[in-house]
A and B are shown apart, each in its own frame.
Chain A
Amino acid sequence: MSTTETTASGIGPVEGAALYDVDNPAPVIEPPRKRTKKTPKSTRGNFEMYGWLFMRLSGIVLVVLVLGHLLIQLVLDGGVSKVGFAFVAGRWASPWWQIWDLAMLWLAMLHGANGLRTVINDYAERTNTRLWLKGLLYTATVFTILLGTLVIFTFDPNIR
């Protein structure tokens, strides 16, 4: 698909002097998805498809994980008042709950981060704004995931 450099602007001289001429051309509208120096590569690929699929699948899994988590933490066995250091220590003694919490952490963080990434793509208008917002988002995501994972695996119930 060839894109012509001189997109017809549709603004021609009407009556009297024209506003635009050779030295002062009418603004040209950038054709969509044109390869420029800033974006030389084709943007085709399966990444967005996998991202879209991940949102659906992780969403389904998260419904089970999060609702189960809330039920255990807030409703069953005396509700939220039972949650304390001893309760967490007891739960993380079992690999089942370690894996549950790990899966919840990773899926929720990646799901949320990917959602925010699409929000930034849809709403940030300037390339630089996008870049900064995404940089901030990815930093926060990686930090939270790493910190959470570290805590789940190195949790010491005998800490003083």
Chain B
Amino acid sequence: MATPVLDKAEAEAQAKAAALITVTFRVRRFNPEVSAESVWQDFQLQIDPKERVLDGLHKIKWDLDGTLTFRRSCAHGICGSDAMRINGKNRLACKTLIKDINPAKPITIEPIKGMTVLKDLVVDMEPFFQAYRDVMPFLITKDTNEPTRERLQSAEDRERFDDTTKCILCAACTSSCPVFWNDGQYFGPAAIVNAHRFIFDSRDEAGEQRLEVLNDKDGVWRCRTTFNCTDACPRGIEVTKAIQEVKRALITRRL
């Protein structure tokens, strides 16, 4: 009885080993305690092409070089921790399969642009979250009494802002925006998307205040509709469209 089981396990192990390919991960390393400059470092590893870039980073951190620093929490595309620049494009490392990004060539991995790098792939997200906080991303109602029942909403009213509820705050959009790269003062796509989520919510009553916030010199009017944000969004949110809708709402309500 034992022999066939062993054979099966052996065959599986062989099949697994045969599926492995050699890839080069070219990682942008930065350690402020060693050098003020960041450098590229190559790692060779054996990996199944159906695995994700995050699995490759794990292999590096766990087996090759424990000093490699990057953020990841859930590792399944929901927490938004592991946005990074992979082959020059902002993506989530946990949603990018090796086979989809040409493993024949070295895979370049950099921290997201436009924010201060703290170490390796970890950046200071504070400017990003500051812009998020500035648009008041929470329900505001004029009714000060505590609600006695849930706030009902029609399916159509819910549909109005459905797209922008999908945001996971990974910063892939904001850090792909060339306007944000310059001085980091622009609110950025993510903050506008999260403002959009409440501005167009029929239950919320502070849409006007949020529009006023985004009417800033560094608000929605700095958007140049380059569509980098829409391309970068790992959740497929039509980010540029949401920004345009906020612009339109500002114009129709102000004029």
Interface positions of A (Cβ within 8 A of B): 1, 3, 7-11, 14, 19, 27, 29, 31-33, 42-49, 51-53, 118, 121-123, 125
Contacts and interface: CB of A to CB of B under 8 A. Distances in A.
B182 A32 contact: no
B136 to A, nearest CB: 8
Contact of A10 (B122, B185, B247): B122
A46 B211 CA distance: 11
B96 interface: no
Given A11-B118, A33-B218, A1 B126 contact: no
B212 interface: yes
Interface of B: 32-33, 116, 118-119, 122, 124, 126-127, 130-131, 133-134, 178-179, 182-185, 187, 212-213, 215-219, 221-222, 224, 247, 250-251, 254
28 contacts: A1-B130, A1-B133, A9-B124, A10-B119, A10-B122, A10-B124, A11-B33, A29-B116, A32-B184, A33-B130, A33-B131, A33-B134, A33-B185, A43-B218, A44-B219, A46-B254, A48-B216, A48-B221, A48-B222, A49-B215, A51-B221, A52-B221, A118-B224, A121-B222, A122-B178, A122-B179, A122-B182, A125-B182
* Max chain B C-beta neighbours (<10 A), residue from A9, A32, A121: A32
Contact of A31 (B126, B182, B219, B224): B126
A9 B118 contact: yes
A10 B118 CA distance: 7
A53 B220 CA distance: 13
A31 B130 contact: yes
B224 A122 contact: yes
A51 B223 CA distance: 13
Contacts of B250: 49
B127 A32 contact: yes
A11 B119 contact: yes
A29 B182 contact: no
B251 A1 contact: no
Nearest to A42: B216
A122 B183 CA distance: 8
A64 B184 CA distance: 38
